[in-house]
Structure formats: C-alpha cells, structure tokens
Amino acid sequence: MKALLLREIKTFFGSPIGYLVVAIFLILNGLFLWVFEGEFNILNSGFADLSPFFKLAPWILIFLIPAVTMKSFSDERKQGTMELLFTKPLSNWEIVNGKFFGAFVLILVALVPSVLYVITIYTLGNPVGNIDFGSTLGSYFGLLFLIAAYTAIGVFTSTLSDNQIVAFILAVFFCFIFYFGFDGLSRFFGSFSPLVASLGMDFHYKSMSRGVLDTRDILYFASISILFLAATVYQLKSFKW
C-alpha cells in the first residue's frame, strides 16, 4: 500500500494538479476572508476568530476534493490499467486505502498554509493573542474529519464511471447531500427534525467547531468514511469478474 500511496502523491505533484489544488484553495480562501466584502470577511467582522474560514472551507472543499478524487479509479478504467492494478500483491482494501490517503495527503498539504491565518488573527487581536485556541483547534479537527469523509465519497464515485466529469458531478452531489441535504430536509420532519439533522455532516462539524471533541461526532465521520471506502472495495470486486 505504501508504494501505491507514494505513487499517487508523486502523480499529484508530478503534474500541475497538486500545485493547482493548493493554489486554488489558498487563493479562494484568501479572497473571501481578506479582500471581498461580505459575511466571510474577517477584517470587517470585528472579531479575532477564524470562524469565517471554517464556515467557508467546507463549501470550497465540496468542489475541490471531487476534482482531486475524480480520476482515482475512473482514469484507471479509461486507460485500461485497472487489470494491471489487480496484479499487484495488494488486497482490495490496500488499493482503496492507497488511493484514499494519496488524495487525503494532498488536501492536507493545501490546508497547512492556513496556519498563517491563525498567526495573523493572533497578531491582530486586541490585546495581542486574544484568540480562542480551543475553538480553533476543534474546528481544525472537524475539518480534518470532514476532508476524510469527502475524500472517501470522492474515491467511491470514481468507481461508478470511467468518465472523470461524471465522477466529479456525482461526488459533488453526494458531498452536498451529506453536508447540507439532511439539515435542509430536517425542516419538513417536525419533531423529528433534530434526528434528521444529526444525520448530516454539518451538524457534527459545527459541534466539533465549538472546541468539544465528542466521540459521537468522531464516530459519525469515521462511519461515513469507512462506509464509502467499503462500498469502493465492493465495487472493485465487481471489476474482477
């Protein structure tokens, strides 16, 4: 699996894809947080916190991560290298995990420079250092789990078609449904609204953003990730026939 993981990372950074993903993530966040007027502009908010970044990031990643994962297996199918992949001494789980962690590491690389935002907020605070580190750290953990879930969904949808555009659209759709869809649907379920809302990622992501790492939130994201990775393994088994 290590060899496959390294191959995926080399593929991303051996082409413009990896650098483009990092650049787009940083540029979009930078423009919305520091330049464009609106609810996400930190300078206009009057508060020394990164909550606008953590509200904005899931919406940018909902398009960025599918763009990274769309070629995971669809490209292998289109190029006819899927059979070659199966000849390697790897189990289906190792193949899927190699693809998953390759994309996950790329997104983490894009996320690392955002630490500069923390330093900036720390400096701009009045007094200096007036920032809620507990909430910020919890938000980062929530974002990591959210990235893992998005990536698992993206890897799965890449097995559904040999067309990368189709895989991208399906990944965006599933990520949107799991992030926002349940919250939107909960308004139609009356007394069951809290239960329906709790099925969505947004509910658990916001819970972790408060700075409290509840095992229920961690188990939720872990379950979503494992569910879609297991579905990917099942899809791979069907390709062998």
pLDDT of 61 reads 94
Q: Please choose, from the candidates 66, 27, 58, the residue with its C-alpha nearest in 3D space to the C-alpha of residue 154.
A: 66
Per-residue confidence (pLDDT) for residue 58, from 0 to 100: 93
pLDDT of residue 65: 94
Give the domain ranges of the chain.
Answer: 2-236
CB–CB of 146/201 below 8 Å?
yes
Please list, in sequence order, all residues whose beta carbon lies within 8 angstroms of the beta carbon of residue 166, skipping any fewer than 6 positions away. Answer: 74, 160
Alpha carbon of 83 to those of 80, 88, 231: distances in Å? Answer: 7, 9, 19
Structure tokens at 154: 């993206």
The reported pLDDT for the residue numbered 79 is 79
DSSP-derived 3-state class of residue 203: helix
**Res 240: pLDDT:** 60
Query: What span, in angstroms and rounded, lies between the C-alpha atoms of 147 and 139?
Result: 12
127 prior amide bond cis, ω within 30: yes
* Distance separating alpha carbons of residues 151 and 125, to the nearest angstrom: 34
Closest by CA to 40, choosing from 21, 20, 22, 54, is: 54
Q: What is the DSSP string of 106-161?
A: HHHHHHGGGHHHHHHHHHHSSSTT---HHHHHHHHHHHHHHHHHHHHHHHHHTTS-
Tens digit of pLDDT at every position of the chain (241 positions): 667 777 777 777 777 877 888 888 889 988 888 888 878 888 777 677 788 899 899 999 999 999 999 888 887 777 777 777 777 777 889 889 989 999 999 899 889 988 888 888 888 777 776 777 788 888 899 999 999 999 999 999 999 988 899 999 999 999 999 998 888 887 777 777 888 888 899 999 988 887 777 889 999 999 999 999 999 999 888 776 5
- Sign of the dihedral defined by the CA atoms of residues 225, 184, 49, 67, in that order: positive
